[in-house]
Homo-oligomer: A and B are copies of this chain.
Amino acid sequence: MKKFINRVDDFLSESLAGFAAAHADLVELNNEPVYVRRKAATPGKVALISGGGSGHEPLHSGFVGYGMLDAACPGQVFTSPTPDQMMAAAKAVDTGAGVLFIVKNYSGDLMNFEMAAEMCEVPNATVLVNDDVAVENSSYTTGRRGVAGTVIVEKLVGSFAESGANLEQCKAFGEHVVKRIASMGVAFSSCTVPAARKPTFTLGDDEIEIGVGIHGEPGRRRARIEPADAIVDELLTAIVDELKPDASTPLLVLVNGLGGTPLSELYLLFNSATAWLRQRGLTIGRVQVGSLTTSLEMAGASLTLCSLDDEMMRHWDSPVHTPALRWGR
């Protein structure tokens, strides 16, 4: 196992300490229980909290800040955080309007967030993200997995909350957004969970996993490496079959790297996606290219489309100031 690491047990705490020190203008790290919170709260705003297993950085801690999350609760690598983390974070960031939990659909996350929601003294609601169209049910999931589309949910609902919406409205808007997002990914390599010390799965020299999950869960099929255009065709066909956007709907296109794939290849994928969408008369409204929801050092990428309406477009464009996404202020 080749990683920048000292002791396996300290990987998460050292990485989080570095993250918090590098972004001390924006975030604060709490230990025992572990959560990352925004330094400058917006008073009276519904507070947004997400979390999940670590190893998907910058998700979620990198999206704590103005216009997105108020707190993130990181679990150990690929392991759900525990309810005490969510409860402590909720208490810390609530300014009276309650908290909205944004949860990726994995059984462990769901159970722990549900327990936190029940025990939490702060009024709360939950939005479940399940954008991965690759498979129904999976290793750690009943129903679809939540993957890179989560970033879009956090951005749009984060902006919506900044605009003064109440808890009920934030939940309803979040559920509206989730229905309009679909994603699918492909892996060129496995990743290695530090505590496991060996790759989660193995792929042959010319093999890829189409529809892979962000923890290395099996996808739809294992294939020989294919040209980028063929991979994009398979992913976008599945995504568009699900969303069925019409020609006039502006699509937000997110090309997401899984951790070990360089920007040059992600831009090539976007170029291929552009051609595919245009051939079908579909409209690209907004674009985001980068490694935002990763699987440790996994080589690969996912594509996400989000059917924007006017309100969603406005909330995508609105200012955001977090460690990993920043524009407009």
Q: Is the CB of A2 within 8 A of B299?
A: yes
Q: Mark A1-27, 1 if CB is under 8 A from B, else 0.
A: 011111100010011111101100000
**CB of A59 to closest CB in B, whole Å:** 10
Q: Mark A302-329, 1 if CB is under 8 A from B, else 0.
A: 0000000000000000000000001100
Given contacts A3-B265, A262-B57, A262-B296, contact A18 B270 (CB under 8 A): yes
Give A67-84 interface residues, CB cut-off 8 Å to B.
Answer: none
Partner of A15, one of B5, B18, B261, B267: B267
Give A254-295 interface residues, CB cut-off 8 Å to B.
Answer: 259-272, 274, 287, 289, 291, 294
Given contacts A5-B227, A6-B227, contact A14 B268 (CB under 8 A): yes
Partner of A271, one of B17, B259, B268: B17
In the bound complex, how far is the Cα of B260 from the Cα of A188, in angstroms?
A: 12
Q: Is the CB of B297 within 8 A of A263?
A: no
Whether, in the assembled complex, A228 has its beta carbon less than 8 Å from a beta carbon of chain B, the answer is yes
Copies in the complex: 2
Given contacts A268-B4, A289-B22, contact A58 B263 (CB under 8 A): yes
In the bound complex, how far is the Cα of B264 from the Cα of A327, in angstroms?
A: 23
Count residues of chain A with CB under 8 A from any CB of chain B.
55
Q: Which residues of B contact A18 (CB under 8 A)?
A: 266-272, 274, 289
**CB of A1 to closest CB in B, whole Å:** 8
Whether, in the assembled complex, A231 has its beta carbon less than 8 Å from a beta carbon of chain B, the answer is yes
- Provide the main secondary structure of the chain A interface: mixed
Q: Is the CB of A57 within 8 A of B11?
A: no
Given contacts A2-B225, A260-B260, A261-B4, contact A267 B22 (CB under 8 A): yes
Whether, in the assembled complex, A54 has its beta carbon less than 8 Å from a beta carbon of chain B, the answer is yes
Whether, in the assembled complex, A62 has its beta carbon less than 8 Å from a beta carbon of chain B, the answer is yes
In the bound complex, how far is the Cα of B274 from the Cα of A3, in angstroms?
A: 19
Q: Is the CB of A297 within 8 A of B260?
A: yes
Partner of A206, one of B2, B5, B260, B271: B2
Partner of A326, one of B3, B270, B271, B327: B327
Q: Is the CB of B263 within 8 A of A260?
A: no
Q: Which residues of B contact A54 (CB under 8 A)?
A: 264
Partner of A267, one of B19, B263, B265: B19
Q: Which residues of B contact A55 (CB under 8 A)?
A: 264
- A residues near B, CB below 8 A? 2-7, 11, 14-19, 21-22, 54-55, 57-58, 62, 188-189, 205-206, 208, 225, 227-229, 231, 259-272, 274, 287, 289, 291, 294, 296-297, 299, 301, 326-327
